[in-house]
Each structure stands twice: as structure tokens, then as C-alpha cells.
Chains A and B, each alone.
Chain A
Amino acid sequence: MSQNVMIKIEDVKKTYPKSIALNGVSVTMNEGEEYLIKGSSGSGKSTLLYLLGGLERPSAGKVIVNQKNLGDLTDEELALYRNRYVGFVFQFHFLLSSMNCMDNILLPARLGGLDTDEVFKRATMLADHLQVSHCLSKFPFELSGGEQQRVNIIRALSLKPRLLLCDEPTGNLDSENSRKVIHLLRHLAKEFHSTLVVVTHDNLIAQSFSNQFLMKDGVLLTQ
């Protein structure tokens, strides 16, 4: 397992007009490892994840990913970073109902102006692996919750992201499916050499992660 530093967060603060989401968070995460951030609702864990994913900019401090300070990137560069570097798995499946599953999976490649042939092959392989091959030509509303989440995971991994960010990935699933999804995420992140960061408030899931943080009132505590 590599010990290269992938993420370095230095005294990051994120404030909103009426609240403070993050209040001086500092943490380092290594390339190819798995991390879990626990915390109650409103503790700031999702905000930290979105800062890592370049969806938000910090009010103060630095978010350095692969030696690049995300705060220094332009809007266009940040969009490219999200497209090429980051894969998101959200609590809700977040698949577009107007497209079939394969089109949903190919969306990041199309938005990034990339050749879809390779992505198509990878998606087909992953779908086979995740046992959702029969779903690729279907529309999201024709799938069960578990199937939708697996298609969502394929989309997140479609461009082989270096950083796989999961926001409550099992929040919408029963315990059996939750266990399967977490297993899949960990397995695939390893296979793709991606750094995995999972945000959850589910203690059952948390037990299996060796690198754990607790987020409380905008402050990150090591477990």
C-alpha cells in the first residue's frame, strides 16, 4: 500500500451566512487508502466531502489534493478536476430519469469530451461484476434501490477516479444491501487504486474501517 500523501487539509473553515460548517479542520490522507468520517447530521462531514470534491470552496484554509491547492483552481479547472479526478457516490442514486442506465454511466465521459468506447467497455465489465448487466439498457425507474446504487457506483468509477467520495452511500438501503455496497466500494477502490473517503452516520459500517474520523460541530477528531 502506498504511503504517498493524496489529501492534505490545512485549517479549513467553511462558513455560511447563518452557520459555521467547518471550524478549522486539518487532516492528511494517503493515496490508495480507505477513510471513514462519522458524525451526526449537521456536524459538517458532508461539507468536508464536497470541499474535497471541489464542489465548494473553503472560506479559509487549504484543501490540497495531489499537491494542488483546490482554492487556486479556476472554475474551469475545478470542473475538470471533478470530472477526471473525483468519483461521487451519493445517498440517493442520482441517476437521470430521462436517460437509460448506460447513458447515465457515460455522462461523465461525455461531459469531459472523452472517448466513450473505453468507458463503455469498463462499464460493461463492472456491470457484469456487480450483476447489473441486465439493467444497462433500462431506465432508472425500472430498477430496484440496490440496483440503482450499483449503477451509480459504476458511473462514479467510470473514469477511474483517483478519489472516490461517498456521501452516505448506504443511507437508502437495508442492512444486507448496505453491507454489500460497502464491500463493493472497498473492493473496487482497491482495484482502481483510488483513495476512498466514506461519510456516514451508520456505526455498523464504520466498524470495518481502520482509518476513522469523527466530525463534531465542525471539528474533525481522530478515532
Chain B
Amino acid sequence: MMLFLDNATSRKFLIGVWVGLAFSIAVILSTIGIMNGFERALRSGLKKSSGDISMQSSAGFFELNNKMKAQIKSSGVKQFSGLVQVESFLIFNDESRGVLVKGIDKNYGDIVNLNLKLPPMSSAIGSEIARIHHIEVGDEIVLAFGRGGSEYKNMPTLNRFKVEKIISHGVFQKDSRLVYVNLNEIQEILGLHNRLNMVAMNVPFPAKLVDDNLKIIEKFADKLEFNFGNQFYFKPYWREFSSLIDAVRAEKVLISLILQLIVVISIFNVLAFIYFINEKKSKELFLFKALGLSKNSMSKLWTMLIILLWFFSTILAVVFVQLFRYLLTHLSLFELPPEVYHMPRIDLYISWGDYAFVFALAFLWIILITYYLLRNLKNKSLLEGLRQEFV
């Protein structure tokens, strides 16, 4: 190593090559991380608003009788909760907006992993609704439903609810639309008796199968649909955003391939470094050969240096990624317009597989390109190198 680092120029060059390679690897990892993070944040937000699978009837409202409950349980579903989901208008301080009201029972909060236990005639509203209309906990809102009292059947019914909680799902569309009230209260307002129009349910997951969960959920949904017949349909929680998620996945693959160019470009810096050392240190290199170092040993030394360079670049790349993650989650510059991206911020998510894929590909490139370079250097005449020094 002394040979490569015994003067400031060589050291600076090596540091530049190292940082350049690390940065290019970090760019690819961060891009993959952003795309994964977007998908995960979206899925997580969507799961918070509906559970793993939602069951609806083509007939609209239905009664969840004991036979149906037994059928759901026999399918392997451990948690489920019936609810009523209807469109409504929220009115507050002379302003109104269209919202989706969910009438929920005490089990629903466990399914979506949100604290949604509500006292009588109270509500939980999405955080964006609260922000846009300046609603705070303790305020009273009015929800207008499309069914009047017995004398005013074509008129809306207006109902006051106290805001008990402000809920964040992490998805703009949900936070700006959802309002939760107690199931029995909305059933009474709408005259539904015990009828529902949706059942939210969670499937049990085998341990540590996070990425395979989606397939398990889809299988469960198919199985339930088969068991219940055509009258009911079962949707995994991401179904309404599935085209967006598919698009993100396709983009991830394409961008990862295109970004390989950055790694290739930075590997040219590595090549430049090898040429630089060979020219600048030709006297020393050829002296080593004259004193008994074989061409193969020289190639091995270079290969070892290149592998070390790659290894330390991967470590620095991880540091760069963490730095980028910090900036992404803390710097206002990186806040996203939520109306466009559905969520205000994205965190990076990079799996071990992603790390392995990017590191392995960088390794492959670096080994391939340096192999050709070293082959050329091996063929260079020893005498030629020595003479260059004497001239």
C-alpha cells in the first residue's frame, strides 16, 4: 500500500476514486430505497385505513350473520370487524367538504392498528381534514348524510359529533377524506338496523415473511371469494392503488439498470487511477518485477487493491445512504406535495437483497473492467518500462 500512498497526489486520487465509487453506489441504493419507501409508505397507509382485506357485497348493505362469521373464521381469518362506510359532508365553521365516514365497532382499531375507541357521539377525523379546516380535538363537527328523517326523506340528516381524535394514516388521500364514528350510531342515523356494507379483516402471517405477505393476502382474498361466491367480493388493501404500485415497481427496475451507468463511469476513475499509478510508479513497479515479483503476483496485488477499494466504497456508500435518509426525512426541501404523491415524506427502505444486488453488480463491473486493463498491463514489456525511466 505504501507504493500507492507515498505521496499526496496518489492519496488524493485514491480518495477521489473511493468517494466517487461510493457515491455512485449510494445513488443507486437511494433511488431503489426511495421507490421501495414510497411503496411501503403507501401500503402501510392504506393498510391503516382498511386492514388486509375488505369484504363488500354487490347488493350493497348486508347482514353479517353467524353463518358468515363462521365461514370467515374457517377460512383462517383471525380478526374481522363489520363496518358501514358512506359518503357524507363534513361541515365546520361554514365550510364543508366531502368525506368518507366509517362507522366502526370496538374491534376495528385492532385491525388497522390505530387507537379508534370513541365515546358516544364523538368522531375521529383525518389529520389533513383537521389541518385544512383548522379543526382541533374538542371541536364539534356536523356530518350530513343523504337520508332525512321520516318527514323529510329526500333531505339530508345533520348530526353533530365531537372531535375526539385526529388520526394520521400517512396517505394524503385517506387523511383528507376519512372520518370515523361509532357503528351503532351511524346504523341508527341511517336506519340500517344491524346491516353493514363492509367487513375489514386481517390474515394471520407466518413469522418473518414480510415481503411475501402480499402474496398471502392475495391468496386469502381469492380463497374467500371462492368460498362466498359471486355476491361478495374481497379486495386486498392496496387494490385501489395497484396500478400506481405496479408503475413504481417497473420504474425501480428500469432506473436501477440505467443507474448502472453511474457505476460504470465511476469505475473509469478506478481505471484512470490504475493507469496513473502505472505511469507514475512505473519505476517502482518494474523494479519489483526485476527483483522477483511475477506478473501474476502484480495482477494479484492490483486485484486485491481493487477489491479493497470496492469493499470500502460499499461501506462509505452505506454512510452516504444514511446521510441521504436523514436529509430526506428532516430537510424541508425534500417535502413532497402530498396532493401529488399521496404522502408528505418518504423514508428510504433498502432490503438486504437490494444491498446485495447493487454491491454485487458494482463488484462485477469493477472486476470485469479491471480484468481487461490488467491483461493489457501484463502484456506490456518489462524492458519498455525500465527504459522509460532512463530516458
Is B a genuine binding partner of A? Answer: yes
Contact B292 A108 (CB under 8 A): yes
Q: Is A76 part of the contact surface with B, judged by Cβ < 8 Å? A: yes
Cβ contact of B293, chosen from A79, A90, A91, cutoff 8 A: A79
Binary flags per residue of A156-200, CB closer than 8 Å to B gives 1, else 0: 000000000000000000000000000000000000000000000
Which of B363-391 touch A at CB < 8 Å? 381-383, 386-387, 389-390
Q: Is B294 part of the contact surface with A, judged by Cβ < 8 Å? A: yes
Contact A83 B291 (CB under 8 A): yes
Cβ contact of B296, chosen from A46, A53, A56, A75, cutoff 8 A: A75
Instruction: Show the binding face of A for B, using Cβ within 8 Å.
Output: 46-47, 50, 53, 55-56, 75-76, 78-80, 82-84, 88, 90-92, 94, 96-99, 107-108, 111-112
Cβ contact of B2, chosen from A83, A92, A98, A111, cutoff 8 A: A98
Contact A75 B295 (CB under 8 A): yes
Q: Is B288 part of the contact surface with A, judged by Cβ < 8 Å? A: yes
**The 8 nearest A-B residue pairs measured at CB:** A83-B292, A79-B294, A98-B6, A108-B291, A55-B382, A111-B292, A82-B292, A76-B294
| Interface residues of B, count at CB 8 A | 23
Q: Is B307 part of the contact surface with A, judged by Cβ < 8 Å? A: no
Report the separation of the CA atoms of residues A94 and B287 in the bound assembly, to the nearest whole angstrom.
Answer: 7
Cβ contact of A55, chosen from B2, B283, B290, B390, cutoff 8 A: B290
A-side contacts of B386, CB under 8 Å: 50, 55, 90
What are 13 contact pairs spanning A and B, CB under 8 A?
A55-B290, A55-B382, A82-B289, A82-B292, A83-B291, A83-B292, A88-B290, A91-B390, A92-B389, A94-B283, A111-B288, A111-B293, A112-B292
| A56 smallest CB distance to B (angstroms) | 5
| A42 smallest CB distance to B (angstroms) | 11
Cβ contact of A82, chosen from B2, B283, B284, B291, cutoff 8 A: B291
Find the residue from B283, B290, B297, B381 having the highest chain A CB count within 10 A: B290
| A100 smallest CB distance to B (angstroms) | 12
Report the separation of the CA atoms of residues A90 and B283 in the bound assembly, to the nearest whole angstrom.
Answer: 12
Which of B273-318 touch A at CB < 8 Å? 283-284, 287-297
